[in-house]
Amino acid sequence: MVSKAASAIVELAERSQSLFGEKAAAISQLMALANDCAEQGWDGDGACAIHPTALQNAKDFLRALPESFPMPEFAPEPDGAISLDWIHSRHRLFSLSVGSSNRLAFAWLDGADRGHGVARFDGLSVPLRVLSEIQSIFNHGNAPLRIA
Amino acid sequence: MLPSELPDRVGDEEDVVGFLTQSSQFNATMAKPAAFLPSPTSQETSVSRHGREPLERLWAIGLTAAGTRKLYGAAIFKAQAVRSIQLKVLADEPPPRHAAIRGWPWIETDPELQKAKQKELAALIARAAGEPLLR
């Protein structure tokens, strides 16, 4: 009984370690991106440098993302924000903008369906609407992602 | 006729190309929506009037557009894909073959809503472009 409980604790610790590793790797990618786009005009066409607050907000967002959710890909945006993209295919994707404000702009394509919206991020919890949209992009025919 | 000898009007079936100068602007599946967002200063997206062939000329135009930046690849789509979402694609020389995507939503009072609308349109252009042509 004790040995079973100990195994469960070890398993949980190992899982946490691997998840932490995944988030740590994503945060490293974010920092590399911010470094690549640290100067005004990084796109050769007047783009703003990645704003330090946008970088911090993006890190907070990743830390707040439930562990059952896949990590996004990142891309710089010309206004100094960072795009977090969940791309299932070119017909099914969710793209979120993290800038220097606490409001997140997002848009999605899901087959013939598409849309956009804005949600407030308090730095601690990912807005439910955002989680729900990411979930719907990845859930077609797959086991559902757990929000909590 | 323009100095490039292309017609003044970009044809609906004409290919236009956005050059990819950041490795984070694309993956194996597609160029990401952010690659098509407009510049905050000019409020337009810079593209060139060219398709996949001839490849040598495509990369020559891309290298000129990239300047000192690395050129990773190209995202090619039809002008009609831009017009079908109520944006404009207009010839804008010089430089030769340059064009601009204009008419992006601009809402000064709500920058996040503006961005959300722009992202949806940029995602549709990214979908139309599909898999990037890598150099």
pLDDT digits (tens, 9 = 90+) for A73-131: 999 999 999 999 999 999 999 999 999 999 999 999 999 999 999 999 999 999 999 99
Beta A73-76 vs B98-102: how paired, if at all? unpaired
**Alpha carbon of residue A11 to chain centroid:** 26
Taking the CA atoms of B117, B120, B124 and B129 in sequence, report the sign of the dihedral they define.
positive
Residue A146 lies in a domain: no
Residue A27 lies in a domain: yes
Quote the minimal CA–CA distance from A16 to chain B in Å. 28
Q: Look at residue A13 and tell me whether its pLDDT is greater than 90.
A: no
A72 interfacial to chain B (CB closer than 8 Å): no
Quote the minimal CA–CA distance from B113 to chain A in Å. 6
Per-residue pLDDT, averaged over B53-61, amounts to 94
Quote the minimal CA–CA distance from B76 to chain A in Å. 14
Per-residue pLDDT tens digits for B79-132: 999 999 999 999 999 999 999 999 999 999 999 999 999 999 999 999 999 899
Residue A79 lies in a domain: yes
- Which of B120, B124, B125 is the best mutation test for A, with the most CBs of A within 10 A? B120
User: How many CA atoms lie within 13 Å of B31's alpha carbon, on the beta-carbon side?
Assistant: 26
Nearest to A44 among B21, B25, B127 (CB): B21
Domain residue limits at A130: 2-138
Residue A148 lies in a domain: no
Nearest to B33 among A37, A74, A83 (CB): A83
Residue A147 lies in a domain: no
Quote the minimal CA–CA distance from B45 to chain A in Å. 9
| Identity of the residue numbered A105 | A
Angle formed at CA B121 by CA A136 and CA A42, multiple of 5 degrees: 105
Q: Look at residue A8 and tell me whether its pLDDT is greater than 70.
A: no
Q: Considering only residues 5 to 24 of chain A, which have any Cβ-Cβ distance to chain B shorter than 8 Å?
A: none
Who's near B66: CB < 8 A, 6+ residues apart?
A: A44, B19, B21
Taking the CA atoms of A36, A38, A43 and A47 in sequence, report the sign of the dihedral they define.
positive
Quote the minimal CA–CA distance from B28 to chain A in Å. 10
Chain B residues with CB under 8 Å of A137 CB are none
From CA A35, how far away is CA A50, in angstroms rounded? 8
Residue A104 lies in a domain: yes
Chain A residues with CB under 8 Å of B18 CB are none
- Which of B76, B119, B125, B131 is the best mutation test for A, with the most CBs of A within 10 A? B119
Taking the CA atoms of A140, B113, B131 and A69 in sequence, report the sign of the dihedral they define.
negative
| Identity of the residue numbered A113 | D
pLDDT of residue A18: 52
**A101 with B30: Cβ contact below 8 A:** no
Residue A144 lies in a domain: no
Q: Which long-range contacts (CB under 8 A, 24 or more apart) does A33-39 make?
A: A33/A74, A33/A75, A33/A76, A33/A82, A33/B24, A34/A82, A36/A76, A36/B22, A36/B24, A37/A76, A37/B22
Per-residue pLDDT, averaged over A16-26, amounts to 73
Chain B residues with CB under 8 Å of A115 CB are 120
pLDDT of residue A43: 85
Number of domains comprising chain A: 1
pLDDT of residue A148: 53
Per-residue pLDDT tens digits for A54-72: 999 999 999 999 988 999 9
CA distances from B99 to B2, B79, B96, B114 (A): 12, 10, 9, 23
Contact between B75 and B128 (Cβ < 8 Å):
no
Residue A139: pLDDT band with limits 50, 70, 90:
confident
Longest CA pairwise span in chain B (Å): 45
pTM strictly above 0.95: no
Torsion, Cα of A19, A25, A27, A28 (10° steps): 160
A83 interfacial to chain B (CB closer than 8 Å): yes
**Cis amide prior to B54 (ω within 30 degrees):** yes
Longest CA pairwise span in chain A (Å): 65
Q: Look at residue B49 and tell me whether its pLDDT is greater than 90.
A: yes
